[in-house]
Amino acid sequence: MTSKLLKRTHMCGTLHSQNINEEIVVNGWVQKRRDLGGLIFVDLRDRTGLLQIVFDKDISLDAFNKAETIGSEYVICVKGKVYKRQSMNPNLPTGEIEIFAEELHILNTADTPPIYIKDDDVVSENLRLKYRYLDLRKPSMQNNLIFRSKIANIVRNFLTEDGFIEVETPMLINTTPEGARDYLVPSRVNPGKFYALPQSPQLFKQLLMVSGMERYFQIVKCFRDEDLRADRQPEFTQIDCEMSFVDMEDIIEVNQRLLQKVFKDALNIDIQLPIQRMSYKEAMERYGSDKPDIRFGFELVDVSKPVKTSGFKVFSSTVENGGFVKAINIEGYGDKFSRKDITSLEEVAKTYGAKGLAWMKIVEEEVVSPIAKFFTEEELSHLLKKVNGKSGDLILFVADKFDIVHDALGHLRLEVAKRLNLLNPDEFKLLWVTEFPLLEHDPEENRYVAKHHPFTSPMDEDIELLDTAPEKVRAKAYDIVLNGHEIGGGSIRIYSSQLQEKMFKVLGFTEKEAWEKFGYLLEAFKYGTPPHGGIAYGLDRLVMILTKEANIRQVIAFPKTQNATCLLTNAPSFVDEKQLKELSIQIQTQKES
């Protein structure tokens, strides 16, 4: 299979009518071969697209004879001349031309591939992952990877021009207290000890600020050993930034320009600055989510007051007992939801903890609802005014504790929008969410844990609440949300060792524990640490949204399954006893122990 490799002159997809009469050399894969009227037609594919090649005995008998032997996915090199095509194919960029082959060199043969190399092939994802190298031949997958590469390049050049230095932080680090579960790496040279793979370069990028690097970035692999969801992978890629001598406004300013650049250069979409902002509190109250999708309305409205006095006990007693009743108005879409549809929406609400879903339709000025009878006319009018109810609307109610009401209605508005086909993937709505709570109470450990991470600074005006009401302390933290997905987040960091020590105390660490776990950071903070903060984006998720894919595996070359395995290489795998012995470990599965 050593055949002549001619110097390629063109990529297949780049040829067009201006090239007519040129002598060209192309390489690629056989997409399809058809024998028709004494001629052989081959659709040749490379990274740039398809090109029709014609083999004609009268032009080259040798090429024609070889062409008779080739099949799908053969790798060939063709030398020939560009002609205007008899029957043009308007669906193909190269559809105006075809190549009459003068030479054919078969560079490699191919067995019949187990999956079709076309975008609309319906085949199990497991088979696609097993033969990933064939799956990646599909134009959509190639374009996703090319697009991803482009995004990374835009980001890198923007940040470099803005004075950011790309610094590589280590992959073999210490296990992190206060994070997700680490992947561990046994050390051979230090028996019994382990490295961890980084969940993020957080501590190192802060140390780089202590080092006076001032502006750092990195596009870097991070690792979390957590159970996987559709948009999670054991290893994922972050665009990671950190800046010194800045407050939140400075970081938002740089990142808005970055996002504007990405949308413009990658998608030719103009993002108007400033990007809209919303406090965490407002996001929760209006959208029932800290990452609201603001492409559509259906906002949450608090109707606790107007329903408090009603005869509908479910509502009035909830409010009396300190709970809430909130509603969303599916304005103008009342006739799209039958009773059966509403019952299925109730099932959705129940998966988020709601005990039920009350509803009202307004049909020709008339309220149609199983619960209408419990309201006086005045109460009803008051209620409808509050939710802006008009003919044609459907109003959905949930009554419960704060968290359940917001969680259930937040997801319901998404579900309704999805059913109404309002989630337009071509529309991109960005939103900054700010003023997150600094802490969350962990009922399991019965202590406060950091909502972002323990290095996030409290807001200056809330610092004194750390002693009295930690749950009320807001953080200098911000997320950037795109179409209901958190694509990035960050914070201004604590940069005083005293405040950092205090934070650890609030998290329930003794001074000794804090120094054992984070001593080198507390020590570093003593030697002149500048004010600093940063942000990290999830590159996989960002690319997934921008390519309008539903699954993160569509934008990763060699992803892992939900079970964290690679179906192509069968990683992870068993290893030799000798390797384990060198690492001073042995396997102890649950059964054996």
- In one-letter notation, the amino acid at residue 416 is V
Q: Which is nearer to a second copy, 36 or 189 (CB)?
A: 189
**Which residue's CB is nearer to a second copy, number 54 or number 494?**
494
Out of 181, 281, 355, 419, the only residue in the binding site for a second copy (CB under 8 A) is 181
Q: CA-to-CA distance for 386 and 308, rounded, in angstroms?
A: 14
Q: Which is nearer to a second copy, 409 or 475 (CB)?
A: 475
**Cβ at position 522, least distance to a second copy in Å:** 12
Structure tokens at 481: 């949300």
Which of the residues 517 through 536 are near a second copy (CB under 8 A)? 520, 524, 526-531
Residue 43 binds to a second copy (criterion: CB under 8 A): no
CA-based nearest residue to 416, from 585, 547, 300? 300
Q: Of 10, 45, 85, 224, which one interacts with a second copy (CB under 8 A)?
A: 45
- Is 576 labelled as part of a ligand binding site? no
Round to whole Å and give the CA distance between 327 and 504: 40
* Site mask for a second copy (CB under 8 A), range 198-227, x = bound: -----xx--xx-xxxxx------x-x-x-x
- Judged by CB under 8 A, does residue 554 bind a second copy? no
Q: CA dist 481 to 92, 239, 541, Å?
A: 37, 15, 11
Number of residues located near a second copy, criterion CB under 8 A: 125
Q: Is 508 annotated as a binding residue?
A: no
Closest by CA to 220, choosing from 235, 242, 203, is: 235
Q: Which stretch binds a second copy (CB under 8 A): 93-101, 413-421, 482-490, 559-567?
A: 559-567
Compare residues 114 and 425 and give the one whose CB is closer to a second copy. 114
Please choose, from the candidates 451, 481, 449, 453, the residue with its C-alpha nearest in 3D space to the C-alpha of residue 200.
453
Q: How far is the CB of 99 from a second copy (least distance, A)?
A: 17
- The Cα–Cα gap between 245 and 493 comes to 11
Q: Are the C-beta atoms of 389 and 363 separated by less than 8 Å?
A: no
| String marking each residue 440-469 x if it binds a second copy according to CB under 8 A | --------------------x---------
Which residues inside 469-508 make contact with a second copy, applying CB under 8 A? 495-496, 498-499
Select 136 or 348, whichever has its Cβ closest to a second copy. Answer: 136
Q: What is the CA radius of gyration of the chain?
A: 30
Residue closer to a second copy by CB (options 122, 587) is 587
Q: Is 285 annotated as a binding residue?
A: no
Of 311 and 530, the one with the shorter C-beta distance to a second copy is 530
Cβ neighbours of residue 243 closer than 8 Å, sequence gap 6 or more: 209, 214, 215, 216, 250, 251, 254, 532, 533, 534
Rank residues 269 and 564 by Cβ distance to a second copy and give the closer one: 564
Candidates 20, 39, 127, 173: give the one binding a second copy (CB under 8 A): 173
Spatial separation of the C-alpha atoms in residues 206 and 214, rounded to whole Å: 10
> Using CB under 8 A, which residues numbered 225 to 254 contact a second copy?
225, 227, 234-235, 237, 244-247
β-bridge pairing 39-46 and 23-36: antiparallel
Please give the Cα distance from 477 to 280 (Å, whole number).
10
Residues contacting residue 373 through CB under 8 Å, at least 6 positions apart: none
State how far the Cα of 248 lies from the Cα of 477, in Å rounded to an integer.
Answer: 8
> Which residues, 78 to 137, sit near a second copy by CB under 8 A?
107-111, 113, 131-134, 136-137
Instruction: Compute the least distance from the CB of residue 272 to a second copy, in Å.
Output: 24
Q: Which stretch binds a second copy (CB under 8 A): 160-168, 261-269, 290-298, 303-311?
A: 160-168
Tokens read off for 202: 């957080």
- C-alpha dist (Å) from residue 325 to 341, 346, 411: 22, 15, 16
Residue 277 annotated in ligand binding:
no
How near is the Cβ of 386 to a second copy at its closest, in Å? 42
Q: Which of 88, 180, 184, 469 binds a second copy (CB under 8 A)?
A: 184
Q: Is 541 annotated as a binding residue?
A: yes
Q: What separation in angstroms does the CA of 565 have from each of 126, 183, 194, 216? A: 11, 14, 22, 33
Which CB, 177 or 323, lies closer to a second copy? 177
**Is residue 27 at the binding interface for a second copy, with CB under 8 A as the rule?**
yes
Confirm or reject binding of residue 358 to a second copy (CB under 8 A). no
In angstroms, what is the minimal distance from the CB of 153 to a second copy? 5
Task: Please identify, using beta-carbon distances, which residue of 69 and 190 lies nearer to a second copy.
Answer: 190
User: How many CA atoms does the CB half-sphere of 470 hold within 13 Å?
Assistant: 18
Contact 128, 140 (CB under 8 A): no
505-512 long-range contacts (CB < 8 A, ≥24 apart) are 506/439, 506/448, 506/466, 506/470, 507/178, 507/439, 507/447, 507/448, 507/449, 507/450, 507/454, 508/445, 508/447, 508/448
Q: Which is nearer to a second copy, 203 or 433 (CB)?
A: 203
Ligand-binding annotation for 538, yes or no, is: yes
75 binds a second copy (CB under 8 A): yes
- Binding site for L-aspartate, residues? 178, 224, 452, 493
- Binding site for ATP, residues? 224-226, 233, 486, 538-541
- Binding site, residues? 178, 224-226, 233, 452, 486, 493, 538-541
